[in-house]
A = this chain, B = another copy of it.
Amino acid sequence: MSYASQLLDSYPRTFNVDAKVLASAIDALTDCAQACTADADDDLSEPNVAELVKCIRLCLDCADICMTTAGVTSRQTEYDANVTRPLLEACIASCKSCGDECERHAMMHAHCQVCEQACRRCEQACRQLLDAMK
């Protein structure tokens, strides 16, 4: 059981969203943030780095956005849907853009394939959390 799950279990108040869906999203977000950071770095090491500039840029954005979304969704106290909802929308858009770009390089670079998977899984987990919040 991930720390995210354990900490939701020991949260002192109640919360209005399914804990399993929430924990899955938090885990997918932190995983995706790390994968994007690492993939941007892998791209920098490639001989064809000039062709990977868009991938690097989208990975840097996606890492930042996923990390921030992980923080905001980890906080349950005085939860504010007006903030969480548009942030999840932005995170879904970022995972989509980054995943699509990684896919274009997945045949040539195994690290882009791994990062694409992390982005797709995170996009899906954020969509499920957004649905569960409704």
Identify the A interface with B (CB < 8 A): 2-4, 6-13, 26, 30-31, 33-35, 37-42, 44-46, 49-50, 53-54, 56-58, 60-61, 63-65, 67-68, 70-72, 74-78, 80, 82-83, 86-87, 89-90, 93-94, 96-97, 109-111, 113-115, 118
Contact = CB atoms under 8 A, between A and B. Distances in A.
A44 B57 contact: yes
Contact of A45 (B12, B60, B83): B12
Given A82-B97, A83-B61, A86-B89, A44 B53 contact: yes
Given A64-B68, A83-B93, 19 more contacts: A2-B31, A3-B34, A7-B42, A10-B109, A10-B114, A11-B42, A13-B45, A26-B34, A38-B74, A40-B60, A41-B77, A44-B77, A45-B77, A58-B80, A65-B72, A68-B68, A80-B97, A82-B96, A86-B90
